[in-house]
Amino acid sequence: MPIRQKPKRGAFAVFLCLFLLIIPIASIHGQTQSEVAPPAKSDTYATTYDGKKERIQHRELARANFRISSVDLSGEDVLSQAAKIFGNNPIKSSGDAGTASQEACYQSATEGDSTHLIFERGEVDFRFTLSSGVSEGKGNLVCTRSGKITRDITTDSGLHLGLTKQQVIAVLGLATNRSQNVRQHTEVLIYSLETEEKTDPQKLEQWWEREVKENPRASRQTFLENYANYTLEVYITAQFTNDSLNRLNVSWSGQY
């Protein structure tokens, strides 16, 4: 009969102590690494206006991230949508040609609630900014008070002020990039995404009917080659102070 040796309790205790010490180190390391997606073969790079290279992830986000209080960035006119829900608002226009944009700002009507929601329409893109206060120096931008703007206002996907970084990542996935300001205790998760999408069939037919009215000899094949598909560019920044979301900017742009 083989003789069983008793386990060496001293060696086991040392191993257990080392294992318990390694766990928190690994957890901390994993948490830091999990905020930004590692480079992928599908990634591409673009040059920004200031000459810097920007990484672009090629993956799709749920459309629920582009809807907030029934205002849909993929809709025809976000400012008109916002006016129907939050009320008419003085629209601020700025820029010209390719940089032209129009903005409408709404803020909470509750005393002590600094929640602001700004909608913006550019030449080919639509944006909204949800923040706890307007700190970006918008100049003469007039914000209309609305009882429908509250601290709990959320996108259809569940993004709202006060979320932690990990809660935002659970909705949007790993970020493309990340920046940090240690002195101000702020961090920003940056999402730069691009996908090829098919145009909504109903919208496509509406465009075709309009095209035929303007040009009876229009080629259906040429029309489809130009408008059946588009490149969707999404840019999202989520800013945190002490790991609490205090500013969310979502930009949607369809390029044909």
pLDDT in tens, 72-101: 998 778 999 999 999 888 888 876 666 678
Residue 180 has pLDDT above 70, yes or no: yes
pLDDT at 96: 67
pLDDT of 3 higher than 50: no
Rounded Cα–Cα distance for residues 156 and 128 (Å): 14
Distances (CA, A) of 23 to 18, 27, 28, 78, 80: 9, 6, 9, 48, 53
Q: How far is CA 43 from the centre of its chain?
A: 18
Query: How many residues would you count in the chain?
Result: 256
The partner residues of 47 in beta bridges, in order of sequence, read: 53
Structure-model confidence comparison of residues 234 and 13, the more confident one: 234
CA distance 194 to 54: 12
Chain Cα centroid distance, residue 46: 18
Between CA 232 and CA 223 the distance in angstroms is 19
What average pLDDT is seen over the chain? 84
Q: How confident is the model at residue 153 (pLDDT cuts 50, 70, 90)?
A: very high
The predicted model gives 27-45 an average pLDDT of: 75
Token digits for 27?
């957890």
| Structure-model confidence comparison of residues 97 and 224, the more confident one | 224
What was the pLDDT predicted at 122? 85
Distant-in-sequence, close-in-space partners of 14: CB < 8 Å, separation ≥ 6: none
Q: What are the φ/ψ torsions at residue 245 (nearest 5 degrees)?
A: -65, 120
How far apart (Å, rounded) are the C-alpha atoms in residues 111 and 178? 34
Q: Report the DSSP beta bridge partners of residue 105.
A: 118, 143
Q: Based on the number of CB atoms within 10 Å of its own CB, is 16 exposed (0-12), middle (13-18) or buried (19 or more)?
A: exposed
Give the number of other Cβ atoms within 10 Å of residue 193's Cβ: 18
Q: Choose from 20-24, 64-68, 123-127 the range with maximum mean pLDDT.
A: 64-68
Which pTM does this prediction carry? 0.81
What's the confidence (pLDDT) of residue 50? 82
Nearest to 198 by CA among 148, 256, 237, 146: 256
The one-letter amino acid at 154: T
Q: Which of 212, 189, 174 is nearest to 59 (CA)?
A: 174
Q: Which two tokens stand for residue 152?
A: 């709990």
Nearest-Å Rg of the Cα atoms of the chain is 24
Residue 128 has pLDDT above 80, yes or no: yes
What's the pLDDT score for residue 19? 37
List residues bridging with 194 in a β-sheet: 233
